[in-house]
Amino acid sequence: VPAGSEVSQESLLLHGPFARKPKRIRTAFSPSQLLRLERAFEKNHYVVGAERKQLASSLSLSETQVN
């Protein structure tokens, strides 16, 4: 097998149609953040909009982390 074909196969695995997305970095929540997030989830399983923005701000997290 020529060396060039190995590189193209590797490139296809890394960038082809079935390539995996890079893993998202997990957020390590503090115990107090977890408690607040769990309480918010108990009240409403879908925290969205202004409520999510306010909760994220109060916990010093991004809205994506509260998602």
Rounded to whole angstroms, what are the CA distances from 26 to 29, 48, 52, 55, 60?
Answer: 9, 20, 19, 19, 16
Residue 65 has pLDDT above 70, yes or no: yes
pTM over the 0.75 mark: no
The whole-number average pLDDT for the span 25-53 is 88
What does the domain layout of the chain look like in residue ranges?
31-66
Q: What is the largest CA-CA distance in the chain?
A: 61
Confidence of residue 38 (pLDDT cuts 50, 70, 90): very high
Residue 1 has pLDDT above 90, yes or no: no
Return the pLDDT at 47.
82
In CATH terms, the superfamily for domain 31-66 is Homeodomain-like (1.10.10.60)
pLDDT tens-digit series, residues 4-15: 445 566 665 666
